[in-house]
Structure 1
Amino acid sequence: RALLANNARLLVLPGCRHANLISRFMRLMLGRLSADWERRWGHPIALVETFVDPTLHRGTAYKVSGWVQLGQTAGWKRDADDFYLRHGTPKQVWVRELARKACAKLRAPQLPPTWATVEQSVRPKCTFHVEPILSLMAMLQGQIAEFRRPQALGYPVAGLLSLMVMAMATGVRYGAEDLADYADTLSQGQLRALGFRRDRHSGRYRAPKRTTFQRVMEAVYAPALETVLLRWQEQVLGPSQDPLVIVDGKKLRHGGRELVNMVDGQGRFLGSALTPDKTNEVPVARQMLARMDLEEKLVLADALHTCKQTAQQIHLEQGGDYLLTVKPNHHELHQELGKLFTEQPLSPSGHATDPCPNPGEELRSAGDPSLGLPGSDAHPGGLPRGAVGGELGEADPSGRGLACRAGVPDQQS
């Protein structure tokens, strides 16, 4: 955000039209903008943007000045309360680079070091639309009971929790102090929309402070809150279509507690839970998976979860698949997998190097029953979940797997 500047207006009066006036002005302005900005604010500008209403203009002045059209807006506008309302008239978005390859650098997973320090210094700002926030507050009011004394209700719990969700989605990550800093950036209209009360002396809506956030985070019932957030997320985004369920346990820094998180392949939140004392994340992860629909899903987890109970629950009880890490300390399982995945040379000459089995032999499946994990039963053709058919290899009714090259001589010239 700090590396981008917006050109809000471009106006040429009817009586002042001269050839190439706009393009000359644009060249002079953009030629000094970044340097002027750095002198005033201490950092450069990498990219400039502007908007064009296609019902009124075609953006010709920007096009001839080297601007590029990225696409259209979603059709929202700011309203009087500093939230956003849909107006149904998308605008064209045009940008121009002021630094070499600025677009590629801004899209990169990591910004250049000099740019990263600029972004880190910018305080997050609320950009949420009205409808999803009001729908979240309505869900919270119906499901999360007020647990504080009446004197503390200047900040209703539904508004506080909605504010926390807004802050987290905007990039706030580091606890109550940062939440309070974020709350200070909200406008009077935004604070009113969250249900906060006016200060009786100043008449202004107050932003909650660090201690208010701390008390709410310590007292709110986490499972009920998670249920509401998952329902609201599905209402806003629709059901998750990603087939992955990623299990990840993390130690909380300085807290001495462990948290188990689940997300899909796109990073979408699927649930989280604290690990009780004197246990680990494995039983907690199984409890979380038990609440999910794993049909046609693939569960990914690290080596800590590689055990029969977890595999059986995922595959046999809930109809999903799993991809679990196997480390050398799983001695027998690690050795068996090493044998199964050893590459064999493919040669059309001689039985000694022919990968097709001799009569009476069977191919070992990649899902080998000797591994002892659910889903490792042998399948026709030696492959999991179905036999191979077609011209390159028909499933043998005898159960041997792929039929060897019938009618093809052992030695080929």
Structure 2
Amino acid sequence: MNLREVVLQPVAASEEARFRSLMAAHHYLGALPKIGDTLWYVATWQGQWLALLSFSAAAWKCAARDAWIGWDFRHQYDRLHLIANNSRFLILPEHHVANLASRVLALSERRLATDWPARFGYPLLLLETFVDPQRFHGTIYRAANWHEVGETRGYRRTRTGYSAATGPAKRVFVRPLHARARACLSHPVLDPRYRHGAPHIMLSADQMLSLPEFFAGIPDPRRGQGRRHPLPTVLAIAAAATLCGMRGYKAISLWAQDLSQQARARFRCRWRNRRYEVPSRTVIREVLVRVDPDALNSALQRWNLQHAEDEDLAVDGKTMRNAIDADGRQTHILGVVGHRSQTCYTQKKSAPCP
């Protein structure tokens, strides 16, 4: 067999039954339904089926992968779509040929670079897979330049979350599809090329609706003329963006611009020309620099009392760039983060340490 003649192509709708049947018969995990955005491939040589692959939605959580990427937990839920899981890889029994697996993996990377965005509207930055060490060594992935980054903790996904008991740990392999995949995935502001749909807000609908109410009593530091966006709306959007991991005025503004119309309505954004408008970066910065820190802190504490999930809190400090007080000193921010939920409950301006 000439490996250069091996071709990889998506499984046609008329071939899906055969694909499932072969997976069920020959893969130790059996057939797999399509999970989220999924592509199935078949490798052929002179019309013969040689190998089957499935690429589907990434694992919701994987400590080894997440540590390798280095992203904030609040970023990952909005960026998981940029990772695909090689959930099945099967070389059919009669075609175990040297170097065939590496050839098929290389072909799949090339196909995914064009097939995935064409099918789902966004590109991929990273591939992942899990290898059972009791059955395999991961040799084919190493040969194809995949990186082993650790092991799973043995939990498996269920309909209600994760299993209570652990099973055998699996080795975690990843394959970057872009030279700067790790940097892109972990950067505080996601490159616009990789955004897809509205941001994944880590708040319930009721919590989004409640945020503006808690800021309603804060005095507006802006001049009365030209107040296009209500102060509670601006503060609610800034607080929600911070909960989703945004840091800095630009990141908060970009996050706000990506909000769906439904989310904007919940934040009570300005209605104009039959659309809800979000405040600009300039408006957000002006409000956050001028707002009374004590009043803001009090409102956030009240919101925390109603929606808190944590018993233990941690305090963190940051220095805001381009935020100078009347004495020419940079503004310092103290934040309170919940240990269990990792939620940032409150942030307060403070004087610099001596």
TM-score with structure 2 setting the length: 0.48
Greater length-normalized contact order (CA 8 Å, ≥ 6 residues apart): 2
Structure that is richer in strand per residue: 2
TM-score with structure 1 setting the length: 0.42
**Structure of higher CA gyration radius:** 1
